[in-house]
């Protein structure tokens, strides 16, 4: 069997070294020394001044919306994981969907301004598959209309735009450190902002709004993470360069092996580095996608329709909306297996099968 993804696990003895320290200290959660150490090491690795390690990417989004005191409408993408939209609704705001760009699959910056109303408070855009949005264009629109910007960078760990971290852009950026991501802490997330005062507010929000043993300064939530998760993050950080190298090698093998497939890859931001988080393709037709997926499933090679269907048409708690480009692309996007333990031989097998299926 070849799954669509498979979590990276470091040598068990490396993780055990951190566990031994947890047992000695008996400090399991509430931002212990490992969690603090992970924050410091991630700031250095990503070249960031401010960063918080939190429970997961969804809580990170909710914290961002709360910290910016957003109300009313938030312009967002219909092509993302459900948490991007559900976090908006969960925080009492209204998602306003804008169609996506046909080449990058990101929020189409040229269509954002037409969706701005007197009730718009922010733009929440996703760097789809880690591919950076048009951050300059989005910021210009936000500045013109006095809007806040949040970036869902769940997939974008390690990506740089114009020589600096993708998380430097917007008022707040978030990242997911879920087990399926290229870098993970089993469960976890990051909240990033350049604003020191906003970071302080987010730190209070992460810990119930507590400022001292008997005082509160914010409406907060339990957004902390455990020492066990931080330990996995610390160990995995030592392997991130090797993970990146291997995923790049596999991606290049797919590119070569699928050159004659009736499909295209999303166009990557020309000013950005790649992190090889996913291998996604847009097939010529939904019929071809379904044919490939069914036949690959029969060979126990599992792919994922990620993201399908469009959030604008799938969620029971918001009014449905037809969006031409999103509806067309979401029906034709397929993510292929990509993970550290995948072999070049398995990629070559997948490519041969896909071409054979397409041509038969």
What pLDDT does residue 354 have?
Answer: 98
What pLDDT does residue 8 have?
Answer: 98
Cβ atoms of 88 and 94 closer than 8 Å:
yes
What pLDDT does residue 91 have?
Answer: 97
CB atoms within 10 A of CB 351: 20
Going by their DSSP bridges, the two strands 279-283 and 333-336 should be labelled as antiparallel
174/193 Cα distance (integer angstroms): 9
111/99 Cα distance (integer angstroms): 7
Cβ atoms of 125 and 152 closer than 8 Å:
yes
Per-residue model confidence as pLDDT tens digits over 220-237: 999 999 999 999 999 999
In DSSP notation, 165-193 reads EGGGSSSEEEEE--TTSSS--SS-EEEE-
What pLDDT does residue 112 have?
Answer: 98
Topology match between the domains 12-98+105-237 and 240-359: no
Topology of domain 12-98+105-237, per CATH?
Answer: 3.40.640
Task: Return the sign of the alpha-carbon dihedral for residues 115, 116, 120, 123.
Answer: positive
Q: Mean pLDDT by 10-residue block, N- to C-terminus, for the chain (360 residues)?
A: 97 98 97 98 98 98 98 98 98 98 98 98 98 98 98 98 97 98 98 97 97 94 98 98 98 98 98 98 98 98 97 94 97 98 98 96
In DSSP notation, 99-143 reads PBPTTT-SB-GGGTGGG--TTEEEEEEE-GGG----HHHHHHHHH
Domain ranges of the chain: 12-98+105-237, 240-359
| Max CA pair span of the chain | 71
Q: Which of 309, 280, 321 is nearest to 98 (CA)?
A: 321
What pLDDT does residue 140 have?
Answer: 98
What pLDDT does residue 265 have?
Answer: 98
| Sequence-distant (≥ 6) Cβ neighbours of residue 18 within 8 angstroms | 34, 231, 234, 235
What pLDDT does residue 136 have?
Answer: 97
The interaxial angle of helices 12-25 and 33-46, nearest 10 deg, is 130
What pLDDT does residue 199 have?
Answer: 97
CA 100 to chain centre: 17
- Give the whole-number percent of the chain exceeding pLDDT 70: 100
- Take residue 200 and report the two structure tokens written for it: 């302080």
Strand, coil or helix: 220: coil
Q: Which overall architecture, per CATH, does domain 240-359 show?
A: Alpha-Beta Complex (3.90)
What pLDDT does residue 79 have?
Answer: 98
In our burial notation (b when 16+ CB lie closer than 10 A, e otherwise), range 242-276 reads ebbebbeebbebbeebbeebebebbebbeebebbb
Side-chain-side CA neighbours of residue 166 (13 Å): 30
Q: Which of 230, 203, 243 is nearest to 338 (CA)?
A: 243
Cβ atoms of 53 and 38 closer than 8 Å:
yes
Q: Which of 187, 189, 182, 192 is nearest to 241 (CA)?
A: 182
- Take residue 83 and report the two structure tokens written for it: 């948490």
| Sequence-distant (≥ 6) Cβ neighbours of residue 212 within 8 angstroms | none
pTM: 0.97
What pLDDT does residue 239 have?
Answer: 98
273/286 Cα distance (integer angstroms): 30
């Amino acid at each position: 069997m070849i799954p669509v993804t498979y979590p990276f696990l470091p040598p068990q003895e490396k993780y055990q070294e951190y566990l031994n320290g947890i047992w000695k200290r008996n400090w399991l959660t509430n931002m212990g020394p490992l969690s603090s150490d992970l924050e410091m090491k991630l700031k250095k690795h990503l070249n960031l001044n401010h960063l918080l390690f939190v429970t997961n990417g969804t809580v990170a989004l909710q914290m961002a919306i709360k910290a910016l005191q957003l109300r009313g409408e938030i312009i967002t993408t219909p092509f993302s994981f459900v948490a991007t939209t559900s976090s908006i609704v969960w925080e009492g705001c209204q998602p306003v969907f804008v169609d996506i760009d046909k080449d990058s699959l990101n929020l189409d910056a040229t269509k954002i301004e037409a969706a701005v109303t007197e009730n718009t408070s922010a733009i929440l855009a996703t760097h789809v598959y880690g591919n950076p949005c048009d951050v300059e264009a989005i910021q210009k629109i936000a500045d013109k209309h006095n809007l806040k910007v949040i970036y869902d960078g769940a997939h974008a760990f390690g990506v740089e735009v114009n020589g600096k971290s993708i998380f430097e852009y917007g008022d707040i950026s978030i990242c997911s450190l879920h087990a399926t991501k290229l870098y993970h802490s089993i469960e976890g997330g990051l909240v990033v902002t350049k604003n020191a005062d906003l970071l302080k507010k987010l730190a209070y929000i992460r810990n119930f709004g507590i400022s001292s043993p008997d005082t509160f300064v914010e409406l907060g939530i339990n957004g902390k993470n455990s020492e066990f998760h931080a330990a996995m993050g610390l160990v995995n950080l030592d392997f991130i360069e090797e993970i990146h190298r291997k995923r790049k090698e596999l991606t290049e093998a797919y590119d070569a092996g699928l050159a004659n497939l009736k499909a295209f890859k999303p166009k990557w931001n020309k000013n950005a580095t790649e992190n090889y988080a996913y291998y996604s393709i847009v097939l010529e037709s939904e019929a071809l996608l379904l044919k490939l997926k069914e036949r690959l499933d029969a060979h126990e090679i599992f792919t994922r329709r990620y993201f399908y269907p469009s959030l604008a048409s799938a969620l029971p708690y918001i009014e449905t909306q037809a969006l031409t480009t999103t509806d067309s692309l979401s029906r034709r996007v397929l993510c292929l297996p990509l993970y550290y333990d995948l072999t070049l031989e398995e990629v070559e097998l997948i490519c041969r099968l896909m071409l054979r299926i397409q041509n038969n």
